[in-house]
Amino acid sequence: MSFLTDPRGTLGDLTRPEAWVLGVSVAFLLLLFVALLAGALGPTYFLFLVGLAGMYALLSFGLNSQWGFTGLINFSVAAFFGVGAYGAALMTADSSPIAGGFNPLVGLIVGLSVAFVLAVLIGIPTLRLRADYLAIASLGLAEVVRLVVLNERWLTNGSAGLRGIPSFFAGWPVLSTFPQAMPGLRLEVVPGSPIFLEAPFWRASLNVLLVLGFAGATYFVLRRAHRSPWGRVLRTIRSDEDLARALGKNTYSFKMQSFVLGSLIMALAGVFYTHLNLYVGPGDLDPITTFYVWVAVILGGSGSNRGALFGGIVIVTIREGTRFLNDFAVPIDPAPLRLLLIGILIVVVMRYRPQGILPPQRELIWPSAVDGSGTPDRPASGVRERKRSDDLENRSENAENRSDDRDGNGPNGGDDDE
């Protein structure tokens, strides 16, 4: 909001990476906008991409609340995403081998409930493990989930996947017929290449609204949770689990809560994906999905929700951009090219900027404490107050030291408990 009242000041306050990211994003948006107007990029496809970016952002939020907040290395993102997607698809699709034909809201609830149960089941054995064991174990259990989805044909339709999934708003009063009810529009910005806005376009814009709703709600819940006492305990666990335990916290229980919360968000992304893509198959549970999300999070900055948003957009650019590259410039199959780019991105980030591009700042203090003049108002006199304000500055320094410390020491602080 401060941007509206004082644009120049806000821009001046940005750190260098922030300004850089902002510049690139604006340039990218302009490019997309020009492509849209020129008719090179179909508006419906563009909205699909926006939906996909929102979905990756949602997945990254989920991972962020596990890895970024608590330091849990969860390599089973794809499993929770897939469970959410399959839960919703099995309840709503025509081709569903078990139920099918329910209202998408039922699918949402079922997807989330199954993900909840799965998160508890995976969490019970793995959350007591050391960080690197947790990584291996969660990847293994995610593979088990994928194998079950692939092979239990009576339940999931096997490798054929599920088709005939309705849109999320099917069966809602006004919204279910909204795409058909809207008039078809014809815009001609550049002569000779008209843009048509018809039912698919309106359907896609509903999807975008939906993902904006999901992601926005998640963002605010996470931001609030991150700053709450609960979030503080999680950050303590991340930097030093033994310390948290010494302070009397049941770290296992806190880790479980953070794990379940993140998994539910991932499942929510899965539910949205089902209604965006209108097809789910076992390929969606491939480990590569997990690592897409990991790249988004470590690129954006672990623990930073803004970063997760940025990372999500980068991932979609890589995922969909490789197709265009294949068509125009580089005659390389998109699948390995994507893999190569993701791999290079991981290595480059870890080499040159392990804290990510937009690492969380001042995550240990309330923003209201530093808003305005930058430092809290200092009373005119009195040693005691003076000392307190110094304290606050120290704390903000500590906040930065903390995040540095974490990069050096590992989320579990854990060389000691080997």
Partner 1 sequence: MTVLGYLANGLVFSSIIVLGSIGLSLVYSIADFANFAHGDTMTIGAYSALVTFGAVGGLGGAVLGLPYGFFLALIVGIAVAAVVAVGTEKLIYEPLDIDSIGLLITSIGIAFIYRAVIQIRFGADFTRFGVEPLRPIEWLIPYGIRVTRHDVAIVASAAVLVVGLHVLLQYTDLGRKMRAMADNPDLARVSGIRTKRVKLWTWVIGAGLAGAGGVFLGLFNQLSPRMGFNLLLVIFAAVILGGIGSVYGAMAGGFLIGMINQLTPLLSRLGEVLPLVPDGFGIPIGIEYANAIAFVIMVAVLLVRPNGIAGEGAT
Phi and psi angles of residue 195, each rounded to the nearest 5 degrees, phi first: -110, 130
Smallest distance from partner 1 to CB 413, Å: 10
Quick one: angle between helices 229-239 and 383-409, nearest 10? 50
Q: Positive or negative CA dihedral for 329, 335, 338, 343?
A: negative
Smallest distance from partner 1 to CB 120, Å: 15
Quick one: angle between helices 77-92 and 104-126, nearest 10? 150
Binding mask 275-294 for partner 1 (x = CB under 8 A): ----------------x--x
Of 18, 143, 242, 320, the residue at the interface with partner 1 (CB under 8 A) is 143
Rg value, the chain, Cα: 23
Residue closer to partner 1, measured from CB, 131 or 392: 131
Smallest distance from partner 1 to CB 347, Å: 4
Residue closer to partner 1, measured from CB, 225 or 339: 339
Query: Given 3-state DSSP classes, what are the helix, strand and coil percentages for the chain, each rounded to the nearest 5?
Result: 70, 0, 25
Of 298, 308, 313, 318, the residue at the interface with partner 1 (CB under 8 A) is 298
Q: Are 218 and 58 in contact (CB under 8 A)?
A: yes
Residue closer to partner 1, measured from CB, 128 or 388: 128
Smallest distance from partner 1 to CB 346, Å: 3
The residue count for the chain:
418
Smallest distance from partner 1 to CB 148, Å: 8
Q: How many residues bind partner 1 (CB under 8 A)?
A: 45
Q: Which residues contact 411 (CB under 8 A, 6 or more apart)?
A: 67, 70, 71, 72, 73, 131, 238, 239
List the structure tokens of 29.
Answer: 């948006």
Binding mask 225-254 for partner 1 (x = CB under 8 A): ------------------------------
Smallest distance from partner 1 to CB 77, Å: 13
Binding mask 331-370 for partner 1 (x = CB under 8 A): -xx-xxx-xx-xxxxxx--xx--x----------------
Quick one: angle between helices 16-38 and 305-328, nearest 10? 40
Q: Tell me if 404 contacts partner 1 by CB under 8 A.
A: no
Residue closer to partner 1, measured from CB, 132 or 327: 132
Smallest distance from partner 1 to CB 245, Å: 18
Give the span between the Cα atoms of 71 and 259, in whole angstroms: 10
From the list 299, 307, 240, 297, the residue with the least C-alpha distance to 266 is 297
Of 41, 118, 141, 211, the residue at the interface with partner 1 (CB under 8 A) is 141
Give the span between the Cα atoms of 214 and 274, in whole angstroms: 14
From the list 260, 359, 269, 263, the residue with the least C-alpha distance to 311 is 359
Give the span between the Cα atoms of 283 and 171, in whole angstroms: 29
Among all chains, which residue has been given the structure tokens 């880790």? 255
Smallest distance from partner 1 to CB 153, Å: 11
Smallest distance from partner 1 to CB 357, Å: 16
Q: Tell me if 407 contacts partner 1 by CB under 8 A.
A: yes
Binding mask 99-138 for partner 1 (x = CB under 8 A): --------------------------xx-xxxxxx-xxx-
In the region spanning residues 303 to 332, those forming contacts with partner 1, defined by CB under 8 A, are: 332
Point out which residues bind partner 1 (CB under 8 A).
73, 125-126, 128-133, 135-137, 139-141, 143-144, 147-148, 150-151, 291, 294, 298, 332-333, 335-337, 339-340, 342-347, 350-351, 354, 407-411
